[in-house]
Structure 1
């Protein structure tokens, strides 16, 4: 293909040892319906065949530019190099192990151009081996981008969006180098300065979760970097003289990200490391000694998730908390191996529930069903957000909308941790339209049986 002298969009792809994924990534970019693009590949000192692979692509398509870096400094530095070399008015970022829908660039670009947008975002799938694990909710924006970001209404990833390159240049925005979680500060700054933003419902980006993904690993560097990034966000707010106004939102966001990006991984990887937990606690309380009380008052669901994850980690790994001790108020028998399903089962027993509906088809649901069947509690139905999800031997899976049973006054057990709040809200919205009142039981109810000393 002939070279684009005036490309409309610059697509920046940082790569480091991506030989197993880069073909699929580049094919998805080259097969875009919008052809007038440039693809800037920044090789971050790969030691595998990545550079050889992309050079073969470049020989076949002159829209590809390759920047080779001598030293590995992480995706932040690589993206910065790409921004410097970009020649278009709009820029996008794609990670080398991900892939995109054929119309993503065209539709995001046309939306930005027609509505004079600084940023246009789309939704994304979280995938593994081409299987969709989850789908992102629709971003919601108001006139207060700081509040939107802190409340989680804006996805902090840089890769599911198109940006006016002037946002970076005019506001001197660049990615921190050699830091994990660098998206958080950059996305925050971009939305702070953006004057016009558009959100699309289309699901165009595929985030490929691999064994090497940040979301699947944790180290002391991950812990230190996360809090360094939030210090940068705090400094930015202080410099703009708005930190005091947004402090409660900021602390809630910090606690939420600490839970989802650090504590959940400590539990999942069974890391029996007291140093890790103390490091997290020390850094968290360095922002504000009263962070838990502040978040409990302003965002109880974030507080619940944090305490619950602490409980799981300390029970499973026999670790001790420096600042608080978590105790169970009542005599609840919990098997640490299947803790999530065990807690839900205990809540069912404590409420003397004899028949119920289970919402969810994952591992927690499977373990919960085993416990329930042994006690001869009747399972009326299985619900899920997608009725094409896996089915159980004795029952089909229904969505709320396709349910053959009236769920009014029925007990619905939310067999999910990560999406519990989202599912609860979905059931509440559905119940409101149908004028019904089901009884919802989730991990959130467990907080009533915990006390912190």
Structure 2
């Protein structure tokens, strides 16, 4: 049994996948398996992955005939992991040679369920941004101490009063983390395969609520490449953006409520509201950018005010049935086909319906 399983889902990521997979093949920890899921790529990624798998016996390649989304690919890979620990690398990022070894030795040293390092934002060789962290070189939290980390899994920034030496950038991301495989399976930590957005945040929200020991290594070993083609930031118009985001909010809010029923996690209720407001703001900006050209400034302001008001007053809409979300999608699709664009005033009404006002 390998010490660490490194999971890398791939969908149309040439030429970045060369850097990503190349960094995994150079790991100083020898006893690893590299589990690659080709999520029905249509570019040159498939041929390249097949070539690498033929060259390196540590690589297990699974080629899917149908794209099952990012959460589906993660779920598929975790089910097949054989290592004592597992970590996930995005196929457009890359890691330092001692990434797996450092996280593994730290996890063994502290018997950690989750072990985490730092990342930077990688634009190119000449432009990289280091995220701020003011804590010690190494930190270990046990039991109730981890409660302060739980809200950070669905938090974009430290605007909620977290102690500066206990605020960990990118806590919601599945990358930069090593999970004890038995911990994941014993607690039935699974990806929600219905989610196309924030699936990693939802996974970590559950994971940190179950963890007994969390270890942090204050070293930047993961390089997060900044692209405009992510699910959240893709510049192309996505007519499914709103229902996909609604599914994510529903899932995260239900998890938050389940956690709060068992323990009063500080700041979690507040961060949940901010998460909703952030998500709806992303949706608003997306439709505004692509389809809001015919809308007056007054209507734009009215729609944004309604989004913020609903997020603050209602807080969440975890009880909204999925049928209502799907019905809202049909309504928006109708407006698109009828008028060639979505007026933000129509989006405002759809959001009000979804939130239950």
Change over 3 Å in CA distance of 1:222–1:319 after alignment to 2: closer
Match of residue 161, structure 1, among 155, 166, 177: 177
Task: State the match for 1:39 in structure 2.
Answer: 34
State how many pairs are aligned.
291
Instruction: Compute the TM-score of the two structures, normalised by the length of structure 1.
Output: 0.57
Greater length-normalized contact order (CA 8 Å, ≥ 6 residues apart): 2
Match of residue 292, structure 2, among 268, 272, 278: 272
Q: Does the alignment pair 1:251 with 2:258?
A: no
Q: Does the alignment pair 1:224 with 2:246?
A: no
Query: Structure 2: how far apart are the matches of 1:278 and 1:87?
Result: 53
Q: Does the alignment pair 1:146 with 2:168?
A: no
Instruction: Compute the TM-score of the two structures, normalised by the length of structure 2.
Output: 0.71
Query: Structure 2: how far apart are the matches of 1:29 and 1:107?
Result: 14
Task: State the match for 2:227 in structure 1.
Answer: 210
Unaligned 5+ segments in structure 1 are 1-5, 293-317, 324-453
Instruction: Quote how far apart the aligned CAs of 1:199 are.
Output: 1.2
Comparing 249-258 with 45-54, which one deviates more in the overlay?
249-258
Task: State the match for 1:126 in structure 2.
Answer: 121
Instruction: Quote how far apart the aligned CAs of 1:238 are.
Output: 2.6
Q: Does the alignment pair 1:199 with 2:199?
A: no
Query: Structure 2: how far apart are the matches of 1:258 and 1:243?
Result: 28
Change over 3 Å in CA distance of 1:173–1:291 after alignment to 2: closer
Change over 3 Å in CA distance of 1:270–1:71 after alignment to 2: closer
Task: State the match for 1:174 in structure 2.
Answer: 190
Q: What secondary structure is seen at the aligned counterpart in 1 of 2:146?
A: coil
Instruction: Quote how far apart the aligned CAs of 1:278 are.
Output: 8.8
Change over 3 Å in CA distance of 1:271–1:209 after alignment to 2: farther
Query: 1:285·1:291 contact (CA, 8 Å) conserved in 2?
Result: no
Change over 3 Å in CA distance of 1:82–1:281 after alignment to 2: farther
Comparing 190-199 with 221-230, which one deviates more in the overlay?
221-230
Query: Structure 2: how far apart are the matches of 1:175 and 1:280?
Result: 31
Query: Structure 1: how far apart are the matches of 2:5 and 2:220?
Result: 21
Instruction: Quote how far apart the aligned CAs of 1:8 are.
Output: 0.5
Query: 1:180·1:222 contact (CA, 8 Å) conserved in 2?
Result: no
Match of residue 50, structure 1, among 20, 45, 59: 45
Query: 2:300·2:344 contact (CA, 8 Å) conserved in 1?
Result: no
Change over 3 Å in CA distance of 1:282–1:222 after alignment to 2: farther
Query: 2:280·2:307 contact (CA, 8 Å) conserved in 1?
Result: no
Query: Structure 2: how far apart are the matches of 1:38 and 1:22?
Result: 17
Unaligned 5+ segments in structure 2 are 136-140, 158-166, 317-342, 350-357
Q: CA RMSD in A?
A: 3.3
Instruction: Quote how far apart the aligned CAs of 1:225 are.
Output: 2.3
Task: State the match for 1:78 in structure 2.
Answer: 73
Task: State the match for 1:373 in structure 2.
Answer: none
Query: Structure 1: how far apart are the matches of 2:8 and 2:228?
Result: 20
Q: What secondary structure is seen at the aligned counterpart in 2 of 1:92?
A: strand
The Cα offsets for residues 48-83 of structure 1, whole Å up to 9 and x where unpaired, read as 221110111111110000111121011211111111
